[in-house]
Chains A and B, each alone.
Chain A
Amino acid sequence: MKRILSSITDGRGFDIALVALPLAFLLLLSGLPLLYNVLMSFQEVDMFSLGTLWRPFVGFENYRELFEQPETLPILGNTAIFVTASIAGQFLIGFGLALFFWTNFPGASWLRGLFLVSWVMPGLVVGAIWNWILSGDFGVLNFLLRESGLISGNIFWRSDPNYSLWAVVMANVWLGTSFNMILLSVGLSAIPGDLYEAAELDGANAWQRFWTITLPMMRSSIGALIALGLIFTLQQFDLFAAITSGGPNNSSNVTQYWAWDMSFRQYDFAKGATISVIMIVFVMLASIVYVRSTRHEVRG
């Protein structure tokens, strides 16, 4: 008894307890709902079986029906475009800004802090404001483009199937850039200055210093950021609800909005769960890539 107790306060038992607590937490709050969701995607669910766990099992029926719908593949494609374009935009602009503020001109840290305001704003508020900016007839964006002579007629960002997805991408890039910028700034400031001094003495120019010192030293920050970006873009829902509602004709619909629409608009909870399972598969694939790409890292 005494040995067990002492092992818990100081020893292997303590280590195990430390691991067990978060594991139990994860299993309870993420694992179980995930499993429940997977289970639901193989069942027939309606209003009356909503409160029970064991419902009629239908095998892959939900999946088959889902892939028979004409909108399924375009929506999966939209999701891929949305995620790639959003992450690329957020990352590139965020990195550019981080490098810019890294030069430490007067007021740099103050300005950098101000950028976070966009990240603090709730998605629905951001969505409502972008809704006005992107409005076809009276939107600010169209006004600016027209006045600067870039376009001659108004672009209906929200209602033209060729632009609607990009309208949401634009808003999402704006929303996520500052977060990328802050995380990358932290990564940049962690790079020891003497590396650059040594490189400069060896005659490396700014471009070479960026490619051989900054980028490799930022590897873990960038990896973590892309993984986080993937999670944040895949859970981006508010902007779709506020700007296009997935329309017109599903041209800006993505899986996360579609899953909600299935479950809570059409009350087809099983199909909603099925879409979520498909999303889980993609997130798993992405996380495997992430884990593999950062595996060989040695961290202090």
Chain B
Amino acid sequence: MGIRKYAMLGALALATVSSFCIPAQAEDVTITVWSLDRDIQPAPNLIADYNKLNTGIKVEYRQIQFDDVVSEAMRAFSTGQAPDIIAVDNPEHALFASRNAFLDLTDMIAKSEVVKTANYFPGPLASTMWDGKNYGIPKATNTIALYYNKDMFKAKGLDPEKPPQTWTELVDAARKLTDPAANVYGLTFSAKANEEGTFQFLPWAQMAGASYENINAEGAVKALDTWKTILEEKLASPDTLTRSQWDSTGTFNSGNAAMAISGPWELDRMTEEAKFDWGVTLLPVPEQGAERSSAMGDFNWAIFANTDHPEESFKVLEYFVSQDNRMFKDFGQLPARSDISIPETGEPKKDAALKVFVEQLKYAKPRGPHPEWPKISKAIQDAIQASLTGQMTSQEALDQAAAKIKAVLD
């Protein structure tokens, strides 16, 4: 009798408790977000803030490593376990979009009060498009420009307020600034055999009128020949071939290179480490008045096509977009939007540099977009390295790359 009474009581208690809890849970839709952001970067913080709003949508976050983003996403998608939202590197966006693995957001964006395509820089926006439709929203962006050491410019008789504007001026300045006795190279950049090499080279080819579809055009050959001159005359370290952008710019910060081609991700470290006066200028162009171009980096948001909650997922993205004005202040990343001005940091060199980067962003072009971008990029990297090691002429190397790319495009 006693046991029975307790059992009844227990069941009653359970029923009461669950009758309070279950409805509350049923209202909540759970959205999963994958990105590579660490705890000090946007995604986990924006998600924590969003969950505090209690909108009835609960967002769960999973951090994935840079190298695993695409392979994890592919595996998850092909086995039906993809997250609702993912942040994907912009050259890889088309790989998913072209196969309709990402949701077409065109209609939702058209109706949205928050997401307006007109607010974005053209480069980042283009990287989210495929076949004229919007398959994502730019998350943040970056580009590359020319850093230069003003103190060294003065020491070598160059005007620190007139940094090189054309390729010829750049090579000339590099010649004057190179000083083997003092362990100083004129320029540092990266021609590494990975995506970084393509990231740095493609803007040069584009400024001279070439593109990945006609990579053996005259302009691209001229661009690669300019790189070749820089390496053959030892105006840049031979290790440029195997060094990342981050390590290369490290030599600029330590005063072993007078100019560096890199992006805004260097600013914090440079402000801290560089014990000299430095400035940033737009990437030099082939000749005065030529078309400008630059690289475009960073990630895009996208919603997987097999999500159960497209509306709710889009609401979460709208929240992320609504917080874009915090992007720089809180997380040090540049929003991909031309309508948001970057707040002053109070550090004059940094503020001046940021203005140049925002200007440069107007000319930033996406890599691709093409679903087989990694193969196209590999062909370009191979050409850069074959030419710079002296194993082929620039023309031969780029002809070979063009043939490989043609096979991919057909």
Contact = CB atoms under 8 A, between A and B. Distances in A.
Are A and B co-members of a single complex? Answer: yes
Contact of A51 (B79, B237, B238, B389): B79
A70 B375 CA distance: 15
A108 B101 CA distance: 62
A7 interface: no
A145 B251 CA distance: 22
B194 to A, nearest CB: 6
A84 interface: no
B328 to A, nearest CB: 31
Interface stretch (B66-74, B117-125, B150-158, B282-290): B66-74
Interface in B360-396: 374-375, 378, 382, 385-386, 388-389, 391
Nearest to B81: A51
Given A245-B194, A247-B193, A264-B67, A161 B242 contact: no
Contacts of B185: 137
Nearest to B385: A249
B66 to A, nearest CB: 11
Interface in B213-258: 237-243, 251, 256
B78 A48 contact: yes
B406 interface: no
A58 B168 CA distance: 51
A220 interface: no
B192 A245 contact: yes
A18 B386 CA distance: 56
Contacts of A264: 67, 71
Contacts of B74: 47, 50, 267
Given A249-B386, A251-B389, A159 B67 contact: no
Contacts of B391: 161, 249
B192 A247 contact: yes
Nearest to B256: A137
Contact of A245 (B71, B193, B237, B388): B193
A262 to B, nearest CB: 9
Contacts of A48: 77-78, 99, 101
B223 to A, nearest CB: 18
A1 to B, nearest CB: 42
A243 B386 CA distance: 19
A94 interface: no
Pick the most buried of A50, A138, A156, A267: most chain B CB atoms within 10 A of its CB. A267
Contact of A268 (B99, B193, B375): B375
B183 interface: yes
A248 B197 CA distance: 11
B275 interface: no
A86 to B, nearest CB: 20
Contacts of A243: 242
Interface in B163-201: 183, 185, 192-194
A49 B78 contact: yes
Given A137-B239, A159-B241, A249 B193 contact: yes
Given A161-B391, A268-B375, A247 B79 contact: no
Nearest to A263: B71
B193 A246 contact: yes
Given A47-B99, A264-B71, A267-B95, A248 B79 contact: no
Contacts of B96: 47
Contacts of A250: 193, 382, 385
B79 to A, nearest CB: 4
A52 interface: yes
A246 B197 CA distance: 14
B101 A47 contact: yes
A160 B237 CA distance: 11
Interface in A221-257: 243-251
A176 interface: no
B75 interface: yes
B239 A265 contact: no
Contacts of B239: 135-137, 156, 158-159
Contact of B378 (A160, A245, A265): A265
Listed from nearest, the 6 A-B pairs whose CB atoms lie closest are A51-B78, A247-B193, A249-B385, A156-B238, A51-B79, A159-B241
Given A164-B242, A265-B194, 14 more contacts: A137-B251, A159-B242, A245-B192, A246-B193, A247-B241, A248-B242, A249-B193, A249-B382, A250-B193, A250-B382, A250-B385, A264-B71, A267-B74, A267-B374
29 contacts: A47-B74, A47-B96, A48-B77, A49-B78, A50-B74, A51-B78, A52-B78, A136-B237, A137-B237, A137-B239, A156-B237, A158-B242, A159-B243, A164-B242, A243-B242, A244-B242, A245-B192, A245-B193, A248-B388, A248-B389, A249-B382, A249-B386, A251-B389, A264-B71, A265-B194, A265-B378, A266-B374, A266-B375, A266-B378
Interface of B: 67, 70-71, 74-75, 77-80, 95-96, 99, 101, 183, 185, 192-194, 237-243, 251, 256, 374-375, 378, 382, 385-386, 388-389, 391, 400
